[in-house]
Amino acid sequence: MTTDKKSVLDYVPAARRDFLKRLLAGAAFAAPVIATFSIDALSNSAYAAGITKPVNTTLTLTAPNTVGNQACAADAGYDGPLTFQAHVTSRFTLLPAVQAGHRVNGEVTLHLSAVGTGISSVNEITGIVSMVSGATITGGSITVGGRAATANLVITGGAFSITNANVTPAVCDLDELADMMASGEATITIDGIYQGSPYNVSGPITGLLSLPTV
Amino acid sequence: MWTRPAHDFVIEKPHKVKFSKCFSRLTPRLVLAQHEPLEQVADQKPKRAAELEVILGEDGYIIYEQDRDRVHYLNAVAALTYELCTGDNSFAQICRFVQEAFGLAAPPVTQVAEAVAKMREEGLLH
């Protein structure tokens, strides 16, 4: 914990200061995630997901990373591509101010590790980010339907790993995230620094179908 | 056949807007999200909404709005941003605090702007 973090923590209410201090100590900078959902929607899957809503209506969250914002049916596993790719770049727009910004781009390759035969279950998604020369990477995230599907994604040396611990309430689990990726509904965003200022690039994730063995 | 919309933008010389160094790299997304001039947003001092129940989750905050029957999940960066919105810190100061907390080379203006805009939209900030 640096001196800077201590001074920043002075703004945090005492009751939450130690918690946030521990949270920040182990966290790299990533895109802020704010996921909102209704209690009614949660109620449909609350017990399966680990949420209980006691009589006094105080929410108790026992497993925040695996809580879905939708009714999560019984996990049917995943059947689809195991390798994905995304080209990340600045959003194209005719707004002059955007075009004056960095023109940074790169490639992200993702690979699913699955267990089981036939219909399998995804237990890890690994990725490699390759950006144009001179662009450093500070973080990234995957979004589904405009909502963050990953949290606390740490990219080290251009590589990252997503497990069920990194999945936000926007999706049920890694199987669901993989399904969204295979359906072309997932977008990956990479944050970083180029020439001393931040950049933010993104692109749709597309599956690479493997040819059948003959 | 695609027809060029009448209201389409025209590429022209980029606007030169004079504001603080922290704000100089702000992307238009903040402006589009908040519909306010850059200078006004830079000086704004967002404040946490009162009477919200903050639950400490495994890797972030869970904020429960009993009245609206809604729950919000904030990761570490969003939680820090939320805490810095005391009503005393300007947006530029919040950017600088987040930069210092994570040892970034530059203030994460875009990310903080999106977080503040989203939290305002959700009623977590005034």
Could you tell me how far CA B3 lies from the centroid of its own chain? 35
| Residues in B touching A27 (Cβ below 8 Å) | 76-77, 102
Of all residues in chain B, the one with the smallest CA distance to A193 is: B105
| Residues in B touching A200 (Cβ below 8 Å) | 27, 110-111
Taking the Cβ of residue B106 and every Cβ of chain A, the question of whether any pair is shorter than 8 Å is answered with yes
- Minimal CA separation from A135 to chain B, in Å: 13
Dump pLDDT digits (tens) for B5-37.
444 333 333 333 333 333 333 333 333 344 455
Chain A interface, best mutation among B59, B82, B104, B124, by max A CB count within 10 A: B59
> Of the candidates A94, A99, A191, which has its C-beta nearest B8's C-beta?
A94
Total tally of structural domains belonging to chain B: 1
Same domain, A97 and A196: yes
Same domain, A20 and A87: no
The single-letter code of the amino acid at B89 is N
pLDDT average, residue stretch A58-78? 50
Q: Is residue A14 part of a domain?
A: yes
Q: Is residue A23 part of a domain?
A: yes
Taking the Cβ of residue B55 and every Cβ of chain A, the question of whether any pair is shorter than 8 Å is answered with yes
Q: Is residue A171 part of a domain?
A: yes
> What DSSP character marks residue A145?
T
CB pairs under 8 A between A and B: 170
- φ/ψ of residue A36, rounded to 5: -120, 135
Closest Cα partner for A168 from B41, B12, B60?
Answer: B60
- Minimal CA separation from A58 to chain B, in Å: 8
Q: Are A194 and A136 within 8 A, CB to CB?
A: yes
Per residue, what are the HEC states of A86-127? EEEECCCCCCHHHHCCCCCEEEEEEEEEEECCCCEEEEEEEE
| Residues in B touching A61 (Cβ below 8 Å) | 55, 57, 62
pLDDT of residue A201: 86
Q: Is residue B43 part of a domain?
A: yes
Of all residues in chain B, the one with the smallest CA distance to A18 is: B56
> Of the candidates B54, B77, B118, which has its C-beta nearest A29's C-beta?
B77
| Residues in A touching B105 (Cβ below 8 Å) | 193, 196
Q: Is residue A54 part of a domain?
A: no
Range of the domain at A144: 83-208
Res A53 pLDDT > 60: no
Same domain, A88 and A168: yes
- Minimal CA separation from A165 to chain B, in Å: 9
CB contact under 8 A, A33 and B74: yes
Q: Is residue A95 part of a domain?
A: yes
Range of the domain at B106: 28-121
Res B80 pLDDT > 90: yes
CB contact under 8 A, B111 and A193: no
- Minimal CA separation from B34 to chain A, in Å: 16
Taking the Cβ of residue B79 and every Cβ of chain A, the question of whether any pair is shorter than 8 Å is answered with yes
Res B84 pLDDT > 90: yes
Confidence class of residue B57 from pLDDT cuts 50, 70 and 90?
Answer: confident
- What ipTM, to 2 d.p.? 0.71
State the CB neighbour count (10 A cutoff) for residue A212.
5
Q: Is residue B23 part of a domain?
A: no
Closest Cα partner for A63 from B105, B59, B106?
Answer: B59
Q: Is residue B41 part of a domain?
A: yes
Q: Is residue A132 part of a domain?
A: yes
Q: Are B42 and B92 within 8 A, CB to CB?
A: yes
Which residue's structure tokens are 């530029």?
A: B92
Total tally of structural domains belonging to chain A: 2
Taking the Cβ of residue B95 and every Cβ of chain A, the question of whether any pair is shorter than 8 Å is answered with no
Could you tell me how far CA A84 lies from the centroid of its own chain? 15
* Contacts of A131 by beta carbon, 8 Å cutoff, 6+ apart: A88, A104, A105, A106, A137, A158, A190, A192
pLDDT more than 90, % of chain B: 23
pTM for the whole structure: 0.43
The single-letter code of the amino acid at A41 is A
- φ/ψ of residue B93, rounded to 5: -65, -40
* Contacts of A1 by beta carbon, 8 Å cutoff, 6+ apart: A21, A24, A25
Same domain, A124 and A188: yes
| Residues in B touching A11 (Cβ below 8 Å) | 83-84, 86, 89, 97
Q: Is residue B48 part of a domain?
A: yes
Q: Is residue A68 part of a domain?
A: no
- Rounded to whole angstroms, the Cα distance separating B119 from A38 reads 15
| Residues in B touching A93 (Cβ below 8 Å) | 9
Query: What CATH code is carried by the domain that includes residue B40?
Result: 3.90.930
Q: Is residue A73 part of a domain?
A: no
Dump pLDDT digits (tens) for A108-163.
999 988 776 666 788 889 999 999 888 888 889 998 877 888 887 888 888 999 98
> Of the candidates B25, B79, B122, which has its C-beta nearest A20's C-beta?
B79
Biggest CA–CA distance in chain A, Å, is 65
Same domain, A103 and A172: yes
